[in-house]
Structure 1
Amino acid sequence: MIRSVGAMPDGEPIREARLSGAGLDVAILSVGAALRRLAFAGRPVTLACPDPADYVARSPQMGAVVGRVANRIAGGRFTLDGTAYALPRNEAGRTHLHGGVRGFSRRNWTCRADADDAVTLAYRAADGEEGYPGALAVRCTYAIAGPGTLRCTLTATCDRPTLVNLAAHSYFNLALPPGGGPAPGIADHVVAIPAEAYLPVDADQIPTGIAAPVAGTPFDLRAPRRIGDTAFDHAFVLAREPVAAPRPVARVSAAGSRLRLEVASTEPALQFYDGRHLGEAGLGFAPRTGLCLEPQRFPDAPNHPGFPSIVLRPGETYRQVTEYRLGEGEPG
């Protein structure tokens, strides 16, 4: 079912698609192709903006598909095929973050129901939008893919060489009150990420260009570990290239909750962000009340020759498949 739930500043309708089945209740907004609600057995596990209009004006990428390039590009600059490009520096005037001032997360996508358990959204970015070369056609399909499983498939094609690195940016909290109310902190969540290495960053959260072993660091999450007070906003290295089918990239549980979340993806990296800036959006969320697990390619890849390329060329298709697998187990 698709219905109108508001309007963009230009009057274009904001639409919401609802999916249900296999224990899931799902709501998808046309703004940013955002996952507005994901609930399992009646219990929500994602944060949501109170008003659909918030997704346009002040959402901290809540549930959205971010791009054309997710994460950061140092100084808002890159070179492609010998041509230098300058992008908006929309983070503290220093870095380019999540596609710019009006990246994909703040655009209104078209929305089409494929079935009762699937919906496809599409957006076409113009040549030069947010400084990127080439027109880019993006599609996002959400589908209920089995018991407690929501699958997100992202594809993109271009008419000129360009950069593409998409990521889904939901904030998860497995201890949300079923009937609503303030979100508790995520310090008591337990996270496991099967990565042998991570990408250290500088003061601007830009990767230094090396992949460092997690062993002996606070970023060793190969065994499940309580988040506690550790600060996370880092990419974990799972491989150098995407794989053909989704494999587990993160597992999450929470003290006092029987819910369990497994994230599986085809992507070679996973950005783990602890939501420390949530309070800055003015939406009523306290810092660190939701955590993000964002499958993607390597951040700032065009500025690091040793990182795998995120260049997409005409005739090629970008593809990412990520699954959110929810279930129940013993209390964490």
Structure 2
Amino acid sequence: MKSVSQFLSLTLLLTSLLMTSCNSKKETTEQKPVIEKAPYGQLPDGQTADLYTLQNASGMTAQITNYGGIIVSLTAPDKNGKFEDVTLGQDSLSAYVKNNPYFGALIGRYGNRIAKGKFTLDGKTYSLFINNMGNHLHGGKVGFDKVLWKATPIEGEEPALKLSYTAKDGEEGYPGNLSVEVTYTLQKDNALKIDYQATTDKPTVVNLTNHTYFNLTGGAKRDILDHVVTLNADKFIPVDKTLIPTGKLEPVANSPFDFTKPMVVGSRINDSTNTQIKYGGGYDHGWVLNGSGDSLKLAATVYEPTSGRVMEVRTTEPAIQFYTGNFLDGTVTGREGFPYKKRYALCLETEHYPDSPNQPSFPTTVLRPGQTYKTTTIYQFSTRKE
């Protein structure tokens, strides 16, 4: 009986040691979720901006400034567990102020284009700032990407940052005082969730999105032509030579716009026989997502073979703008003076259709008093070993 008792005691001791060892290993791989605030710099008007760092338990981080709601950096692990930045960005606040092609920024009051900077609502015509080939783009001269938002950090198992801003009636030509809240949440499953909400005191139009430039190689080691993209969309939105929708929706089948199955980005991006490719200089179009209503649905999947990184995009929005960095030309330098060249990133902007205020057949972007604009988009990261 004594030997049995000794055996049981030894077994319990070994089990305890094993559990302690496992817990110790777990503690070294898991980190406490945190959100930290640091000064980021001074704006030309004297206001100061801050930089918030969110970190989840696995070590993934998101850095966000309240200037423009910009995602300054976002890290994700590769197939070997190495965390690297998967976005394009700049080294300082002054660089973002001086020359930022919307890297990581919140876009509004209307993301994408409005033809000739005009729209009519309830019989009244509104004129907006013209800033892109005779059209209005991404909210105008001083859109939401260039204003200072009020920031409220939210601690917890999934750290979050709530940004608030009120656009005045007539700002950039839009009607109504628009109160906006955007909340970034770094989830424990390595996903960055973005919740948008807005209300107005006059009828207006709203189309909010985020304009992060992604490169899953980590550190933008090379262009994104080898990235593999899938889009959950059977139709896309053709445009004219100024990138304004024609008003029609076309099937993607048998065209360079068919990403219903995984497709290497660079395989058809230079198809000189396709007029739409010529107009966009590559891909700079909206895809109509499959599925109806405002339920959260899988919109896109991006896979980078060398790193093994995978990004899945889910959204409640009806469309996604797929842009392949066609206008990057090396004149904008990023971190450590690195020049961002053509097609060094791709954007997946979840949104309503471009020019919807002038297209009666498109889903409406009109927001009226008493209504609440609410959308959600999630960028989730994982890895694949192949």
TM-score between the two structures when normalised by the length of structure 2: 0.82
* 1:128–1:134 CA contact under 8 A, matched in 2: yes
Structure 2 CA distance for aligned equivalents of residues 281 and 262 of structure 1: 30
Instruction: Report the CA distance between 1:56 and its aligned residue.
Output: 2.4
* 1:260–1:328 CA contact under 8 A, matched in 2: yes
User: Residue in 1 aligned with 2:177?
Assistant: 135
CA distance 1:280–1:240, change in 2 (3 Å): farther
User: Residue in 1 aligned with 2:341?
Assistant: 286
Q: Which amino acid aligns with 1:60?
A: P
Alignment of 1:70-89 (within 5 A): 70-89=111-130
Runs of 4+ in 1 over 4 A off after TM superposition: 239-242
Structure 1 CA distance for aligned equivalents of residues 97 and 151 of structure 2: 16
* 2:234–2:290 CA contact under 8 A, matched in 1: no
Q: Does the alignment pair 1:249 with 2:285?
A: no
Instruction: For residue 93 of structure 2, give the secondary structure of its aligned residue in structure 1.
Output: coil
Instruction: For residue 96 of structure 2, give the secondary structure of its aligned residue in structure 1.
Output: helix
- Find the structure with the greater CA-based Rg: 2
> In the alignment, which of 48, 58, 75 is matched to residue 39 of structure 1?
75
Choose between structure 1 and 2: higher strand proportion: 1
Alignment of 1:52-67 (within 5 A): 52-67=93-108
Structure 1 CA distance for aligned equivalents of residues 385 and 300 of structure 2: 18
User: Residue in 1 aligned with 2:283?
Assistant: 232
Choose between structure 1 and 2: higher helix proportion: 2
Deviation per CA, 1:191-246, whole angstroms, max 9, x where unpaired?
Answer: 000101000000000010011100011000000000115110000001586513x2
* 2:232–2:290 CA contact under 8 A, matched in 1: no
Q: Which amino acid aligns with 1:200?
A: P
> In the alignment, which of 147, 165, 169 is matched to residue 123 of structure 1?
165
User: Residue in 2 aligned with 1:6?
Assistant: 41
> In the alignment, which of 118, 128, 139 is matched to residue 99 of structure 1?
139
User: Residue in 1 aligned with 2:210?
Assistant: 168
Instruction: For residue 37 of structure 1, give the secondary structure of its aligned residue in structure 2.
Output: strand
> In the alignment, which of 114, 139, 154 is matched to residue 154 of structure 2?
114
Instruction: Report the CA distance between 1:26 and its aligned residue.
Output: 0.7
Structure 1 CA distance for aligned equivalents of residues 147 and 369 of structure 2: 23
Structure 2 gaps, min length 5 = 1-35, 78-82, 270-281, 334-338
* 1:188–1:226 CA contact under 8 A, matched in 2: yes
User: Residue in 1 aligned with 2:29?
Assistant: none
Identity, % of aligned positions: 40
Q: Which amino acid aligns with 1:16?
A: L
User: Residue in 2 aligned with 1:306?
Assistant: 361
User: Residue in 1 aligned with 2:247?
Assistant: 209
CA distance 1:322–1:272, change in 2 (3 Å): same
Structure 1 CA distance for aligned equivalents of residues 38 and 46 of structure 2: 15
Structure 2 CA distance for aligned equivalents of residues 282 and 250 of structure 1: 27
Structure 1 CA distance for aligned equivalents of residues 180 and 292 of structure 2: 20
CA distance 1:201–1:136, change in 2 (3 Å): same
Q: Which amino acid aligns with 2:200?
A: C
Deviation per CA, 1:2-22, whole angstroms, max 9, x where unpaired?
Answer: 121111111111111110014
Instruction: For residue 145 of structure 2, give the secondary structure of its aligned residue in structure 1.
Output: helix
TM-score between the two structures when normalised by the length of structure 1: 0.95
Instruction: For residue 350 of structure 2, give the secondary structure of its aligned residue in structure 1.
Output: strand
Instruction: Report the CA distance between 1:281 and its aligned residue.
Output: 5.3
Instruction: For residue 329 of structure 2, give the secondary structure of its aligned residue in structure 1.
Output: helix
User: Residue in 2 aligned with 1:265?
Assistant: 315
* 1:22–1:147 CA contact under 8 A, matched in 2: no
| More displaced 10-residue stretch of structure 1: 65-74 or 43-52 | 43-52
Instruction: Report the CA distance between 1:35 and its aligned residue.
Output: 1.1
Structure 2 CA distance for aligned equivalents of residues 225 and 101 of structure 1: 36
Q: Which amino acid aligns with 1:208?
A: T
Deviation per CA, 1:235-280, whole angstroms, max 9, x where unpaired?
Answer: 0001586513x22100001131211100111100000000111226
Aligned residue-pair number: 325
Structure 1 gaps, min length 5 = none
Structure 2 CA distance for aligned equivalents of residues 122 and 63 of structure 1: 17
Instruction: For residue 101 of structure 2, give the secondary structure of its aligned residue in structure 1.
Output: coil
Instruction: For residue 53 of structure 1, give the secondary structure of its aligned residue in structure 2.
Output: helix
Task: Please tell me the root mean square deviation across aligned C-alpha atoms, in Å.
Answer: 1.4
